[in-house]
Chain A
């Protein structure tokens, strides 16, 4: 029996009160995600149940029961409090997927501070703009990443504490650095958890837009109501499941469904802290007998590329249910997984801003490979006209994906950017910024982004951010950044660059620029191809016509070029 039972029945009889009741929450009560993900599960008699099974690339294993998670998050919370960190202050987690990331996240929430997870592969500039925007008070990091923080410290007077979780004492600490060792700290049994309420801020995730700097998406503790129930009904998390979410908590999937969802449901979850390798992934599934696997199209397509023969070397019969997120899952991938694993991947659609799943495929509901599925019960979704914002009910007509903004996990604002936040709402709808169409049975079909943001491997990259960084390279005169199709990542970053006099357009220059962006922003933002051109297409008023370059990459019609200079 699946948790959702009948999708249609759930839609008919839905209320978020179902989730509130299951969590024993009543409006006005204290609601702290840190407590719900650890103490509450212990109070339910599951203190000795395994919560987190962790392994790294070198084969080192660590295991934590729910009581261990409770104690560790208390201990980290107490340490943060001892540094003078108060409720509402931002604490950045800048860690690889080590246990301290997961446990620290809950510890931050337990003191009422705001967790700001950032992808540890971010380069200095990407790190700086996000810490600067949030005026982050403390950052939890590890030895290998502290160098990036040190280079920025003079520009960040608000950053009072740099907490290093794996300091080995070989090198002296520098200004503002402190050491915290979870293994050496005395476990804190009794801890006064901050009495957060529904609208108390919890998590600040950064996401990229077409223009301007990355936006800090503010979520609140009440988001738990959505995250708990969607984990239960969409991922079908059950008592005996061994769950693996492959996402990094530097991104929203890794927190909503890599920490909050499974832990609030009291499920055992696994984490593999290693780079991608098809063999290592299959081995991990077999070794830990993973039953529920939540991954991403990029990873699934990489597994497809690794071939079917490899799969035969492993016993993957433990897999019970598979789901995917991050970008549209192509029909071929769904069909492939059904063939090789005996189970399809069920696609889910949601965003950093929505905080929880919005349009999904559900266990028991007819699966249409390549479709986004249908709205989660309680979510009112529509395709709306891009000019009038009126719903389009006719099947096959492309419009904007829109939601009535009334679910618990919806972002509360963009940090210090209320104007952009307000612009996300039109005619009573929250606009996702994506285009889709409906079919005659009410299934949603993804068409594409409604802006220039590049979705590479499920991660959003702002062309503006990359163009700005490119201009800081000594050889670059002008640049335009667009997406180009990619078999594995759906799309990747491509830069068109004009060079300053004295610089040669050759592959050495290309490599230099690639590495410059990789270190400054991130590997995701690094152009996978740089094309040197003499002149960028511009309007007569001098604006770069990115649209023309994009169309060329995707083999599309260039469209109206009447405003193009030199035409």
Chain B
């Protein structure tokens, strides 16, 4: 679980965080906080699907479900069970 959180967190930092000095945690709001916008969410979803060999239905890939690393990991666990 911790490893998955770190993988997702690191991906968000590498791909979406513009300010290299900004610190984010597992609970930092990603969508409502403006770090990942709704258009970019598609690329984040694609990353998760590729990385964990799953398919996330569009109705599950909501801004709320993607709003923090913790929420994303909870969503992933639904499909990895």
Contacts and interface: CB of A to CB of B under 8 A. Distances in A.
Interface string A140-154: 000111011000000
A508 B47 CA distance: 8
Interface in A109-165: 121, 143-145, 147-148
Interface string B1-36: 000000000000001001111100000011111111
Given A121-B37, A276-B32, A277-B32, A144 B46 contact: no
A272 to B, nearest CB: 10
Contacts of A370: none
A274 to B, nearest CB: 6
Contacts of A518: 39-40, 43
A57 B33 contact: yes
Contacts of A277: 29, 31-32, 63-64, 67
B37 A528 contact: no
Given A57-B32, A121-B37, A510 B19 contact: no
B38 interface: yes
A508 B38 CA distance: 20
B21 to A, nearest CB: 7
Closest 5 A-B residue pairs measured CB to CB?
Answer: A144-B19, A277-B32, A523-B39, A275-B34, A523-B40
A57 B24 CA distance: 14
Nearest to A142: B19
B42 A280 contact: no
A528 B39 contact: yes
A276 B33 CA distance: 8
Contact of B18 (A147, A171, A492): A147
Interface of B: 15, 18-22, 29-40, 42-43, 46-47, 49-50, 62-64, 67
B59 to A, nearest CB: 9
Interface string A509-541: 011001100100001101010000000000000
Most chain B CB within 10 A, of A96, A279, A457, A511, is at A511
Contacts of B36: 275
B40 A280 contact: no
Interface string A311-348: 00000000000000000000000000000000000000
A143 B42 contact: no
A523 B32 CA distance: 16
Given A274-B33, A277-B67, A510 B46 contact: yes
B62 to A, nearest CB: 8
Contacts of A507: 46, 49-50
Most chain A CB within 10 A, of B19, B21, B43, B62, is at B43
A456 B29 CA distance: 24
B21 A57 contact: no
A434 interface: no
A144 B37 contact: no
Contact of B37 (A171, A275, A280, A302): A275
Nearest to B29: A57
Nearest to A170: B21
A177 interface: no
A121 to B, nearest CB: 6
A156 to B, nearest CB: 19
Contacts of A286: none
A296 to B, nearest CB: 12
